[in-house]
Amino acid sequence: MLHLRLISPTARTDEATAVLEECPGVTNIVVLPGAAREPKGDLILCDAARESANEVLGKLTWLEEEGSIAVERVDLSLSRAADDAIEEAPGEPDDAVVWEELEQRVRAESRISWAYLVFLAIATQLAGIGVLLNSPILIVGAMVLGPEFGAIAAICFGLLHRRWHLIITSFKTLVIGFAVAIAVTFACALVSRWLGWIDLGNLTRNAEVQFIVKPDRWSFIVALLAGAAGVLSITAGKSSALVGVFISVTTVPAAGYVAVALALSDWPEVAGSVSQLAVNVVGMIIAGTVTLLVQRKFWPQVGRRSSV
């Protein structure tokens, strides 16, 4: 269930409540006349099945300008009325995509922040150390830590809805993020080389992590599967599945390998890892966009809002 908090101008409260009463899957409707102070108006509370959210929000878009709409998840609902509302709503909760929620999430994750840069830099350094130590465990740890999928998902959403500004912003986030992470890791690897801690032999003896610099058809297939799974995990609210996506693709390890290979002047390995990074990003964007397209076109419970 989702909990909606609406602020409506008094003159249009009856119109708003009529929408809620008519939409299947909406229950626990409460109206508090004059309770809202900023913006001024009536406060309307209700619970809605996730599958009904697009229809409700689609019919109340005018509240975005004249009032307010806030939506939050309900972690626990002990109510026969709520159970009946979920049964009444079309489809299954896990299949429903709340498009407004998805748009706000991908917009937030498409922006460059200090946290994003720090996480990506640390993940890339872990990957670089994993390459040097020939340690698949460190490679997997770096995969999990990397935050780059948010920007990739934003590009998918932007391509679906032709939001070119979002696509450009997300692409910049990816490029700048990886550039900073590679630069930091390169500097650390270069210092390590000057200190005599590493040499070219570290790359020639890393047989267990050579898959990072050898992209092939399987790399692209894995990227496609990971992109589809990643978008599904975001839209269905199953964030735990997203961890598996991070472990599946070698974007961060490829960036770490680029930095280390640059520091050791191993240009063939640089080319291979850059190719691996590109294959993974392109594959995830293609699969993620197609997955969103399928959700919008063929799953009626996620495409009820005509304006999307």
CA 305 to chain centre: 21
pLDDT at 308 over 80: no
The full DSSP string for 172-231 is HHHHHHHHHHHHHHHHHHHHHHHTTS--THHHHT-GGGGGGG---HHHHHHHHHHHHHHH
The domains of the chain are located at 2-90, 101-302
Mean pLDDT of the chain: 87
Strand order in the sheet with 68-73: 26-37, 40-48, 2-8, 68-73
Read off the pLDDT of each residue in 27-55 and give the average, rounded to a whole number: 92
Residue carrying the six token digits 């009536």: 42
Q: List pLDDT tens digits, range 211-227.
A: 788 888 888 998 999 88
Residue 302: per-residue pLDDT? 43
Residue range 102-129, pLDDT digits in tens: 888 888 888 999 999 999 999 999 999 9
**CATH of the domain spanning 2-90:** 3.30.70.120
High-pLDDT (> 70) share of the chain, %: 91
Q: What is the SS3 assignment for 300?
A: helix
CA–CA separation, 308 vs 303, rounded Å?
8
| 154-221-228 Cα angle (round to 5) | 35
CA angle 193, 198, 204 (to 5 degrees): 125
Q: What is the pTM of this model?
A: 0.82
Residue 105, pLDDT score: 86
Predicted confidence band of residue 239 (pLDDT cuts 50, 70, 90)? low
The correct answer on CATH 1.20.1080 for the domain covering 101-302 is yes
Percentage of residues of the chain with pLDDT beyond 90: 50
